[in-house]
């Protein structure tokens, strides 16, 4: 069985892309991490990445569940 059929490559790609987007978005107005609060910045960045990743994985699992329901409906009349 080829796992590419289940979108795992796409999921990995999306997780990496979302992480890059978070890196670009979690910063102060000047476009740089706040030097006064580096620990808070790192914590905010980590929480944001975790949130984005959990959303992506949740959506992936939901789509797999929908696919399995469809398969089950086609197998069991």
For 29, the 3-state DSSP assignment is: coil
pTM score of the predicted model: 0.48
pLDDT at 6 over 70: no
Q: Give me the residue label for tokens 């398969």.
A: 71
DSSP state of 9: H
Max CA-CA distance within the chain? 63
User: For the segment 15-63, what is each residue's pLDDT rounded down to a tens digit?
Assistant: 666 565 655 555 555 556 555 556 677 777 788 888 888 888 888 889 8
- Between CA 19 and CA 23 the distance in angstroms is 6
pLDDT at 1: 41
pLDDT at 47: 84
- Between CA 48 and CA 27 the distance in angstroms is 12
């Amino acid at each position: 069985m080829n796992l590419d059929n289940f979108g795992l490559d796409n999921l990995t790609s999306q997780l990496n892309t979302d992480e890059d987007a978070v890196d670009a978005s979690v910063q102060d107005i000047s476009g740089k991490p706040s030097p006064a609060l580096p620990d808070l910045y790192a914590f905010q960045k980590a929480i944001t990445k975790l949130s984005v990743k959990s959303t992506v994985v949740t959506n992936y699992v939901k789509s797999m569940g929908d696919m399995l329901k469809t398969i089950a409906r086609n197998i069991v009349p």
